[in-house]
Chain A
Amino acid sequence: MKRTVIFLAVVATAAAESNFTAPLVGVARDRQQQLLLVYGIAGNFVVKGAAARGVLNVAFSGYGGLAKTTTQLLLLNANGAVIRSVPAPPGNTLLAPPSSRSRGLYFFTETAELWQSAARADRKVPIEALMLAGRVIALEALDRDGRYAQLAVCRATALWLLRIELNTGQVAGERMAGGAIGENACQSGSLLLLNRNLVLATRQELILQDASGEERRLQYPSRPSGDVAIRQIGETWIEVETPGEAPLLVRLTGDGEKIYRLPAAEAGR
């Protein structure tokens, strides 16, 4: 067996100035539709805004992100900075941020177009609406090899998970989601696909379903007064936007989930 050597000389640079960074928790969106850079640690967020305004939706993973305005789709780098924009049709757009292994995905619900982001020019995935046979409500790039996407599709009141081969646009597999999420996601709430887990935000609670179908529930600190929206805003963070209150930030780790609140962005900060 070859001996593994770690250069001690390099260790010294670990404490060098250039190796310190301001930890970026994620990129969130507030009620004023501002794109906010959230720095800090769990429970101590420092909000710097606004990286962009008029943002309707955002998804960020820590490796990069996507944001949708009325007319444009913005591509974000790992620092949350806008690096490119492409024209986008009006209406709802579903976003899946890039990961360490996969590119970002976005789906224009008005036109039923699925796109895969790239460094220079994005690529349209040749899917056909008929193959979907339903209404797409969430998507994610599957991490394992980056060749596939998973789409959450409502067919009548049932939630189906479709595995799409990104090169061909073909449906490589599909299954009906079970549990409370399978029963309710097409009726109400906001669904997020995250690392093969399903997260459904309802007015009552957060329901998390892992890849094995096991579900657990997370109560909000206070009951929302209206519909909630959920989005991924960091590698381990999701944002739950509730009406009239500071957004919730939920950290999902192997040890469980913990809920925090995102401070308001003070004007001029």
Chain B
Amino acid sequence: MMHRLLLVACFAVCSLPAQLQLFLVQNGSEAPVASEYGFGAISTGDFRDIPFRVRNTGTTVTSLTIFSLAGEGFTIANPPQVPQTVAGGAALDFSIHFAPSEAGFFSANFTADGVSVIVHGTARAATSISLDPGDGTPPHVLAPGETIDFGAVRVGSTATRRLTLTNKQANRITIRNVAVVGQAFQLKTAVLPLNIDPGTSASLEVAFAPAESGTREGALEIEQRRYPLRGIANGFTRPGIGFDTPSPASGQQIRLTIRFDSASRQTGNGQVQMEFRPTQPGAADPGILFIPTGNQVAPFAVNQGDTVARFGSQNGVDFQSGTTAGEIIFTATLGEFTEHATLTIPRAAIGLDSTRTLRTSAGLDLQINAFDNTRSASKLTFTFYGQGGNALSPGAMTVDGAAAFQQYFAPSTLGGVFGLHAFFPVHGNPGQVESVEIQLVNSMGTAKTGRLRFTTP
């Protein structure tokens, strides 16, 4: 049953000291409310919340013993505790919630100590509107002015939102005006007028079909109700990560490219990030990095029409594969896309980089620069050859350097790189030693230098 109330409570105002006063709170500022406040007209099923404030405008403490709202359609959203004292100049904030269940005129009497104000509003007969958000979550009733969000949509594709209009009133509701504002939005199904009998529903669909990238906004208007529409048009194309080597290995500088199956319809920036997962746990490698940035992140740019991402002035970005076996995982992010690619750096025998073999009057000086991406180096074998090419006594000399290698690698900040310096005193004429061959063993096999000729500085 509908109540039409107009309550006059002036007697209460006259009998109490006017130390408390009601204010409307708008954008953080206060506007005094004298004897009544109108909530305006809303549709049934909708609601309107208005923030108010009761302030002690005096300089002395006063008591709050009454705080009530009498009347249908209105409630206090967050009432203060009663009784309580209110210091001079202090204030209590609350909201009045207007939510009429049926069409008509509504009023209520707000009363506090020394304050009495009539609040009133009108309800138009209207349907409730619920939105299927399209993300698998159940439909929910739209709040007044709630934004209908279409999320991120690729340029050229369409996202749709379905709205259900339900008549919970006793009489038929006829909807004559439904409109969509905004170039990227379309009303897909609406044969007007829509006649919705009591207890029944009708649905309509709004589509977001952006032709250009960027954030797009619009509005859906159903009779006097207006709901903002919002969608993000994403023109990026899914990035694909590629490498310029068919057989990745340690000690390489490799070019990474990011390509798109079709030309990008959007301009913007992305980044590719690398993460190293060593085969041997804890084997960090600071050499695994993007060369232009010197770290594990490389930004890139995409222009509309591009089929490949730009890293500065280049169509790709170079990185180092390091000197440790494991997996390098690359993650490219662009717009809503996140793509991964994994580059496996296989375990390998020791890689020889450079050698220096010097013959001095005191002996033979060897320097080997190499890397062991397994960090399992063990045996070293040296075989010296005379000028006639014959192996010199005592022949191949093998030492087990496993412990020494482990001792070196443990604190090393260079990944699997090592430099080995060895000096061999020679009893006799060092000039008789023509060359040396060195073998280095790790868990993946034996690396050989071949015969290295000694030079005299």
Contact B457 A100 (CB under 8 A): yes
Contact A15 B252 (CB under 8 A): no
Check if B253 is an interface residue, CB within 8 A of chain A: yes
CA A100 to CA B369, docked complex, whole Å: 19
Per-residue CB proximity of B300-340 to A under 8 Å, as 1/0?
A: 00000000000011100010111100000000000000000
Check if A8 is an interface residue, CB within 8 A of chain B: yes
Segment 380-419 of B: residues with Cβ below 8 Å from A: 380, 382, 384, 386, 392-394, 397, 399-401, 404-405, 407-408, 412-415, 417-419
Check if A17 is an interface residue, CB within 8 A of chain B: yes
- The chain B residue sitting closest to A262, CB to CB, is B291
Known: A15-B405, A40-B287. A6 touches B384 (CB 8 A): yes
Check if B218 is an interface residue, CB within 8 A of chain A: no
Check if A219 is an interface residue, CB within 8 A of chain B: no
Known: A4-B427, A5-B428, A44-B417. A244 touches B382 (CB 8 A): no
Per-residue CB proximity of B445-457 to A under 8 Å, as 1/0?
A: 0000000000001
Contact A11 B393 (CB under 8 A): no
Contact A20 B408 (CB under 8 A): yes
Min distance, Cβ B115 to any Cβ of chain A, angstroms: 63
Min distance, Cβ B447 to any Cβ of chain A, angstroms: 13
Check if A121 is an interface residue, CB within 8 A of chain B: no
CA A23 to CA B287, docked complex, whole Å: 13
Check if A222 is an interface residue, CB within 8 A of chain B: yes
Contact A264 B293 (CB under 8 A): yes
* Among B294, B399, B426, contact of A11 (Cβ-Cβ < 8 Å): B399
Contact B417 A40 (CB under 8 A): yes
Segment 117-170 of A: residues with Cβ below 8 Å from B: none
Segment 1-57 of A: residues with Cβ below 8 Å from B: 1-8, 10-17, 19-23, 39-47
Known: A1-B432, A15-B380, A42-B251. A10 touches B423 (CB 8 A): yes
Known: A5-B426, A14-B382, A17-B408. A22 touches B353 (CB 8 A): no
Interface size, chain B (Cβ < 8 Å):
67
> Which residues of chain B have C-beta atoms less than 8 A from A5's C-beta?
393, 426-428
CA A179 to CA B286, docked complex, whole Å: 43
Contact A23 B397 (CB under 8 A): no
Check if A81 is an interface residue, CB within 8 A of chain B: no
Contact B292 A246 (CB under 8 A): yes
Contact A2 B428 (CB under 8 A): yes
> Which residues of chain B have C-beta atoms less than 8 A from A15's C-beta?
380, 399-401, 404-405, 420
- The chain A residue sitting closest to B255, CB to CB, is A221
Q: Which has the most chain A C-beta neighbours within 10 Å: B356, B369, B428, B433?
A: B369
Interface size, chain A (Cβ < 8 Å):
47
Check if B182 is an interface residue, CB within 8 A of chain A: no
> Which residues of chain A have C-beta atoms less than 8 A from B401's C-beta?
14-15
Check if A115 is an interface residue, CB within 8 A of chain B: no
> Which residues of chain A have C-beta atoms less than 8 A from B286's C-beta?
46, 269
Contact B399 A3 (CB under 8 A): no
Min distance, Cβ B87 to any Cβ of chain A, angstroms: 54
> Which residues of chain B have C-beta atoms less than 8 A from A43's C-beta?
251-253, 320-321
Check if A101 is an interface residue, CB within 8 A of chain B: yes
Check if B425 is an interface residue, CB within 8 A of chain A: yes
Contact B382 A11 (CB under 8 A): yes
> Which residues of chain A have C-beta atoms less than 8 A from B432's C-beta?
1-2, 4
- The chain B residue sitting closest to A266, CB to CB, is B294
Check if A263 is an interface residue, CB within 8 A of chain B: yes
CA A266 to CA B292, docked complex, whole Å: 10
Check if B371 is an interface residue, CB within 8 A of chain A: yes
Min distance, Cβ A247 to any Cβ of chain B, angstroms: 10
Min distance, Cβ B385 to any Cβ of chain A, angstroms: 11
Per-residue CB proximity of B47-70 to A under 8 Å, as 1/0?
A: 000000000000000000000000
- The chain B residue sitting closest to A267, CB to CB, is B294
Contact B429 A4 (CB under 8 A): yes
Check if B274 is an interface residue, CB within 8 A of chain A: no
- The chain B residue sitting closest to A30, CB to CB, is B294
CA A16 to CA B354, docked complex, whole Å: 20
CA A114 to CA B425, docked complex, whole Å: 39
Check if B8 is an interface residue, CB within 8 A of chain A: no
Known: A22-B419, A100-B457, A236-B354. A44 touches B322 (CB 8 A): yes
Q: Which has the most chain B C-beta neighbours within 10 Å: A6, A12, A21, A46?
A: A6
Contact A20 B419 (CB under 8 A): yes
* Among A23, A44, A236, A244, contact of B320 (Cβ-Cβ < 8 Å): A44
Check if B442 is an interface residue, CB within 8 A of chain A: no
Check if B250 is an interface residue, CB within 8 A of chain A: yes
* Among A1, A7, A44, contact of B287 (Cβ-Cβ < 8 Å): A44
Min distance, Cβ B315 to any Cβ of chain A, angstroms: 9
Check if B424 is an interface residue, CB within 8 A of chain A: yes
- The chain B residue sitting closest to A143, CB to CB, is B457
Contact B253 A261 (CB under 8 A): yes
Contact A23 B380 (CB under 8 A): no
Min distance, Cβ B188 to any Cβ of chain A, angstroms: 51
Contact A44 B380 (CB under 8 A): no
Segment 249-285 of B: residues with Cβ below 8 Å from A: 250-253
Contact B412 A264 (CB under 8 A): no
* Among A4, A39, A262, contact of B426 (Cβ-Cβ < 8 Å): A4
Check if B289 is an interface residue, CB within 8 A of chain A: yes
> Which residues of chain B have C-beta atoms less than 8 A from A265's C-beta?
294
> Which residues of chain B have C-beta atoms less than 8 A from A2's C-beta?
428-429, 432
Closest 7 CB pairs of A and B: A15-B401, A264-B294, A14-B422, A41-B353, A23-B419, A266-B294, A21-B419
Q: Other CB < 8 Å A-B pairs besides A1-B432, A5-B426, A41-B353, 11 of them? A: A2-B429, A4-B426, A10-B424, A22-B417, A41-B370, A41-B417, A43-B251, A44-B252, A44-B417, A266-B289, A269-B286
Task: Give me 27 A-to-B residue pairs in the complex whose CB atoms sit less than 8 angstroms apart, sorted by A's number.
Answer: A3-B393, A4-B429, A7-B425, A10-B424, A11-B382, A11-B399, A12-B399, A14-B401, A15-B399, A15-B400, A15-B404, A15-B405, A17-B408, A20-B404, A21-B419, A23-B354, A40-B323, A41-B323, A42-B251, A44-B251, A44-B252, A44-B415, A46-B287, A46-B415, A46-B417, A263-B292, A264-B293
